[in-house]
Structure 1
Amino acid sequence: MNLLTKLKYSGWVYPTAILSLYGFFANCRPAEPFLTPYLIGPYKNISEDALTNYLFPIWTYSYLAVLFPVFLLTDFLRYKPLIVLQGLFLVTNYILLCFAPGLLAMTVLQFNYAVVTSTDVAYFSYIYSVIPEARYQRATGYIRSAMLAGSTVGATLAQLLVSLAGVEYFYINTITLGIQSMSFFLSFWLPMPKQGMFFRGRTPDMGSKDQQGWAVEEASGAVSGAGPENTPEEGGCCSWYDMAYAGRMLWRSFRESYSSKRLVYWSLWWALATAGYGQVFNYIQLMWDHIEPSSTSSIYNGGVEAICTLVGSAAAFSVGYIKVPWDVWGELALGMFSAVGAGAVFLMAFTSSIWACYAGYVIFKASYMLLITITTFQIASNLSMECYALTFGINTFAALTLQTIMTAIVIDKTALGLDIVTQFLVYGSYYTAISVLFLVRGAYTAGEHYCRPEPGEPNQESKQDTELQDISEHQL
């Protein structure tokens, strides 16, 4: 038992292994690729219009409402409670899907799932609070691989059960419920971090991490009101001192994150593209059902999602082996691959072939996963971990705000309430605008780089000034 405790609190292998297992089971959801056919089928009997224009938008609005509070609570509660909460809500999700009838229950389900997605920030940030910095890259690789493996296994299992065994969607949901129960159980085995990134309490190394003079104030007793009755306890997280420290750290991290113009452009693409990706991802099953109704045809949603995950992960993995000066060509790459994504969305909108639509979705998702990997790497490699966590949260919040605006205007039945084909035409146009923006910006960045003189080499104006000076001296 002592060895287990030692592994929990001093090693990096144990938390990485448990978090990887959790990520595998939490993302192994065989029912997810067949959610739309299940909801509009005989088990739930929800109309396609209600699903498109009423039910799915609730998730977007709820996600926006809970994301920022959850982001702050994640650090305040030190990650693990939010991961446990995510596991609990995943279980609740599939209990509702399996056993709760009616539109009201599915409305609650959408809010429930918004809590699940908003707590992703706890999952992605947890590992950096319990392992040494030297192990970040390896641990991140293991966790990402486990998540992708879980998604692939879940989608493949679902397709095999539907196509080969003829298993009904209800039983696929019950299988998913069992898998999610395993992820919930695993969440309790995660070690509790001793402190958060921002809400640190009074720790011995706190002064060294804050370069604004807090350590000096603390040592000299110059902090106003620092008496015995309100001195924070070791590891405490509720004192005014800790709240002020967290506020200062958040503000410093924000300034560091967005002080570079290049990082601002990468973050801008992240927010814009993720908003469009979220809309396509959320409504693609409705497009598939529009082209090839699940009630009358064999569908291959699970197989397509498995292929998307494999192709996307391969594209993301290849980023580490592509030797490109991203600071020069990165923005141009964002524009070019965004154009590929726009073409794929237009293909999905105009085609009447389900296979062409499947192919368009694979291309779209793979291009997005490639670019978001490059973007994440570029942002993370130039920031401290505290800044990366904050930047991730802000960029996600900005993306979700844009996605909410699109949902409210394009999809919500109280506004335009467009049909699914017209929606995808809007998303294709949206991605076209992103592509044009970054192609122009990328061309400018690349041109500026190659027109800039090499270090030590005078520019053209300097050369002319030197020549004029030499002529003048010669004449004198």
Structure 2
Amino acid sequence: MLFSYFIIWCGQSLLAVQIIQITYGFGAAARMAFSSYMFLLVPEEEYQRMTSLTTTTSLLSFVLASELSQLLALVKFSYSIFLGLTLTSLGICCVTAFLLPKDCPSSLIYSSVTASRVQNEGWIRLLEETWKGRNLQILSLWWALAYAGFSLVQIYGTNLFDAIDSQSKFNGHVLAASQAAGSLGAICAVYIEQYTIKSGVVIYVIGSAVMCIVCLGMGLLAKIWVAYLLYVVISGIYQTLTCLVSVHCGRLLSNGKFILLFSVNNFVGLLLETLLQAALEISRLSISTQYVCFAGFFLLATVIFIVLPFADDDGKSKNDSSLTSNDEPEPLILETR
């Protein structure tokens, strides 16, 4: 990330922009490595607290950055000041990275993910081993679908606000408020985790249904403050659920390959988001109709996760941990190892 912003400061060519895209991609990928590193660093009973606290810190830093940049923009500071502040914070981040613990009790698990083992086992076998278990597969699917749907809501949020009221000056503050709501949701995940473990996918079904209703309201109600409020609400719901689902997936993982699990789940979500965004751009739908489509997407996800946990698994469910001793399927229950 630091290198990317140095190029932004100095580069003025198309090649510089292309290099920025590559380096920024590496920086974004490092977030997945950090998440898996944190899971390896703490005991299982601390997964939820750790995930919620790191997510809250990240979102609150975005709130601070948004409001600070809004303030600097109002007093008409130059872009060089913005870049200078960004480079300073990233420089501090790089120095801090060298202070992170280099050894942890789970380091043997982490070191087991080596290139030689991948070559010996093959990628297909490695993926099958990582996503072993029906519960983990169902939760990973929800993770990817929710990621895609919410990313589209975020991408087109300012477009919706501009379409409703192009004169509004509160868009930036609302984006910051949505991140604050997300941080609050991440903290709430710590306190509701025990209630959601036994409920299985019920919490995710309810969350998908509520996000469907919120998107429908954003698309059909042409009121700017209603759109603002609903945007903040859906951000809080999503961050709460994504903190829960990442921890549930981490606890169901049997081989310790957190970085593979998190990366692939996010990659599938990003791929789905890209395909849906391409379809929206080709169809040239109005922004309000797009949000109705987002509502339909979350409705489809809701139906899928009502039906999927109780669907037959073509004989494979006999070996699944979610089955009782008489081999009859139960609703998904998320139990720790």
TM-score over 0.5 for the alignment?
yes
Aligned length: 310
Aligned match of 1:317: 187
Aligned with 1:429 (options 290, 296, 310):
296
1:89 aligns with 2:4: yes
Cα–Cα, structure 1 residues 113 and 456, in superposed 2: closer, same or farther, change >3 Å? closer
Q: Secondary structure at the match of 2:178?
A: helix
Decide which structure has the larger Cα Rg and report it: 1
Q: Which AA in structure 1 matches 2:34? A: Y
Give, in angstroms, the shift of residue 362 of structure 1: 0.8
- 5+ unaligned residues in a row in structure 2: which ranges? 313-323, 329-337
Aligned match of 1:302: 172
Distance in 1 separating the partners of 2:45 and 2:5: 29
Aligned match of 1:180: 86
Report 1:30-179 matches (<5 A): 86-93=1-8, 95=9, 113-127=24-38, 131=41, 137=47, 143-161=54-72, 166-168=74-76, 171=78, 173-179=79-85
Distance in 2 separating the partners of 1:376 and 1:310: 20
1:260 aligns with 2:133: yes
Give, in angstroms, the shift of residue 345 of structure 1: 1.3
Aligned with 2:305 (options 438, 453, 456):
438
Does the 8 Å contact 1:334/1:371 carry over to 2?
A: yes
Cα–Cα, structure 1 residues 159 and 444, in superposed 2: closer, same or farther, change >3 Å? farther
Aligned match of 1:379: 249
Aligned with 1:284 (options 157, 177, 182):
157
Does 1 or 2 have the higher relative contact order (CA < 8 Å, sep 6+)? Answer: 2
Does the 8 Å contact 1:348/1:424 carry over to 2?
A: yes
Does the 8 Å contact 2:36/2:258 carry over to 1?
A: no
Does the 8 Å contact 2:52/2:243 carry over to 1?
A: no
Distance in 2 separating the partners of 1:456 and 1:135: 27
Does the 8 Å contact 2:178/2:235 carry over to 1?
A: yes
Measured against aligned partners, the alpha-carbon deviations of 1:247-295 in whole angstroms (never above 9, x if no partner) come to: 45785653343211111111110011101111111121122122222xx
Q: Which AA in structure 1 matches 2:238? A: Y
Length-normalised TM-score, structure 2: 0.75
Q: Secondary structure at the match of 2:252?
A: coil
- 5+ unaligned residues in a row in structure 1: which ranges? 1-85, 211-236, 446-454, 460-476
Give, in angstroms, the shift of residue 244 of structure 1: 2.0
Give, in angstroms, the shift of residue 442 of structure 1: 6.3
Does the 8 Å contact 2:136/2:253 carry over to 1?
A: no
Does the 8 Å contact 1:332/1:443 carry over to 2?
A: no
Q: Which AA in structure 2 matches 1:349? A: G
Q: Percent identity, aligned pairs only?
A: 26
Aligned match of 2:234: 364
Length-normalised TM-score, structure 1: 0.55
Does the 8 Å contact 2:139/2:249 carry over to 1?
A: yes
Measured against aligned partners, the alpha-carbon deviations of 1:205-244 in whole angstroms (never above 9, x if no partner) come to: 79x986xxxxxxxxxxxxxxxxxxxxxxxxxx9xxxx632
Q: Which AA in structure 1 matches 2:35? A: F
Aligned match of 1:448: none
Give, in angstroms, the shift of residue 144 of structure 1: 3.2
Does the 8 Å contact 1:152/1:310 carry over to 2?
A: yes
Distance in 2 separating the partners of 1:161 and 1:209: 45
Report 1:445-456 matches (<5 A): none
